[in-house]
Amino acid sequence: MIIIMDSEATLFEIDNVIAEVEAKGWQTHISRGSGETIIGLQGRGQSIDPFQLGQMPGVRDTMAITQQFKLASRAFQPENTTFTIGEVTIGGNRLAIMAGPCSVESREQLLQTAHAVKEAGATFLRGGAFKPRSSPYSFQGMGEPGLKLLAEAREATGLPVVTEVMSPARVALVAVYADVLQIGARNMQNFDLLNAVGRAHKPVLLKRGMSATIEDLLMAAEYILAHGNQRVILCERGIRTFDNKYARNTFDVNAIPMLKELTHLPVIADPSHAVGVRRHVPAITLAGVAAGADGVIIETHPDPDQAASDGAQSLTLPQFTELVPQIKAMAEAVGRTV
């Protein structure tokens, strides 16, 4: 249940309502939009009579939220969540453009990429230091030295850094170097990890699992929100379907307008994983923007054929440079900027 207070409700009235529901065993979560305060009930308290509550001074309305996700829902917070990372605001009219290699492989590879994508117009640098790989015999990432290189690349370019964290025990370490903590698709329902990033003081980029429903994704975000971290970015990165002969995954472009309707959180597209084939990445990037994504995250590499991971889906630096103006044209066609 959520309780919507009058825009003229006093702090005293708000506190009274909070005290009332907390006395019945509920926890409360407060959302303040433009002039309006919404009190969300969490946990499992005694049943509350909405009519009686509606009579309390300052209460405008109460609403049962039947969706399982509450803090993530538009009903709870009608306005878009926006927040600023470095000098870039995400969730607003301007699209975020995140680019960089799948894995950090070397100082030279990373810095060359970082300068090139910055030059081309990227607003974030992505790169993995801890890599979830299907095979234990594949390259597992550089670890902390990779994180240090990312921090160095940020110093050199000013681009905030997005990088993956794979286990609760390493959240503190990764948070030292990263500007955005990425949760990979395979860990979308690693609940201990979600709780850990929920307690962290860095924004989180949460990728949709390969067979996660829209609702599963929102419930995973709910874990993070419920642990106190309100800065969550959702990412559609392709799902598993019956057809993977010509593409690695199926980009669920429907998810973008559906998520934008259901939640106030920013939603970005990952065309690299979603199609998995370099020459189709530009078309899928544009489709994501056309459908309303708040940004894109694109794998780029100075020499994709030699990449330690995901080379087949990484753009070359010139390809990325060529793509940015197309993203810009597309953004303008849907009334946005880059």
What residues between 270 and 309 interact with a second copy by CB under 8 A?
274-275, 277, 279-280, 283-284, 286-292
Segment interacting with a second copy (CB under 8 A) among 53-61, 85-93, 256-264, 294-302: 256-264
Nearer to a second copy, 58 or 288 (CB): 288
Residues 8-37 that bind a second copy (CB under 8 A): none
Query: CB-based burial of residue 44 (10 Å sphere; 0-12 exposed, 13-18 middle, 19+ buried)?
Result: exposed
> Which of 10, 254, 306, 337 is the binder for a second copy (CB under 8 A)?
254
Least distance from C-beta 279 to a second copy, angstroms?
A: 8
Nearer to a second copy, 156 or 175 (CB): 175
125-to-110, 150, 153 alpha-carbon distances in Å:
10, 8, 8
Burial profile 139-162: b = 16 or more Cβ within 10 angstroms, e = fewer: ebbbeeebbbbbbbbbeebebbbb
Question: Among 144, 147, 165, which residue's Cα sits nearest to residue 110?
Answer: 147
Nearer to a second copy, 92 or 132 (CB): 132
Residues 6+ apart with CB under 8 A from 151: 161, 177
Least distance from C-beta 213 to a second copy, angstroms?
A: 4
The SS3 assignment for 64 reads coil
- Rg (alpha carbons) of the chain, rounded to whole number: 21
Token reading at 137: 């015999």
Asked if residues 85 and 202 have their Cβ atoms less than 8 Å apart, the reply is: no
Nearer to a second copy, 16 or 250 (CB): 250
Cα–chain center distance at 183: 9
Identity of residue 177: Y
Residues 53-72 that bind a second copy (CB under 8 A): 68, 70
Residues 192-221 that bind a second copy (CB under 8 A): 192-193, 209-211, 213-216, 219
- The DSSP-derived string for 223-248 is HHHHTT---EEEEE--B--S--SS-S
Nearer to a second copy, 113 or 182 (CB): 182
Least distance from C-beta 183 to a second copy, angstroms?
A: 11
Give strand pairing partners of 333.
Answer: none
Least distance from C-beta 216 to a second copy, angstroms?
A: 6
What x-and-dash track marks residues 146-175 binding a second copy by CB under 8 A? Answer: --------------------xxxx------
Asked if residues 293 and 268 have their Cβ atoms less than 8 Å apart, the reply is: yes
Nearer to a second copy, 43 or 318 (CB): 43
Least distance from C-beta 241 to a second copy, angstroms?
A: 5
Segment interacting with a second copy (CB under 8 A) among 17-25, 31-39, 238-246, 314-322: 238-246
Least distance from C-beta 217 to a second copy, angstroms?
A: 10
Contact call for residue 46 and a second copy (CB under 8 A): no
Least distance from C-beta 309 to a second copy, angstroms?
A: 14
> Which of 83, 94, 191, 230 is the binder for a second copy (CB under 8 A)?
191
Asked if residues 287 and 296 have their Cβ atoms less than 8 Å apart, the reply is: no
* Euclidean distance between CA atoms 293 and 290, whole angstroms: 7
Residues 6+ apart with CB under 8 A from 15: none
Nearer to a second copy, 77 or 113 (CB): 77
Identity of residue 240: R
Give the total of residues touching a second copy (CB under 8 A): 74
> Which of 39, 102, 200, 239 is the binder for a second copy (CB under 8 A)?
239
Nearer to a second copy, 120 or 308 (CB): 308
Residues 89-128 that bind a second copy (CB under 8 A): none
Helix (H) or strand (E) holding 100: strand 96-100
Asked if residues 250 and 264 have their Cβ atoms less than 8 Å apart, the reply is: no
Least distance from C-beta 70 to a second copy, angstroms?
A: 8
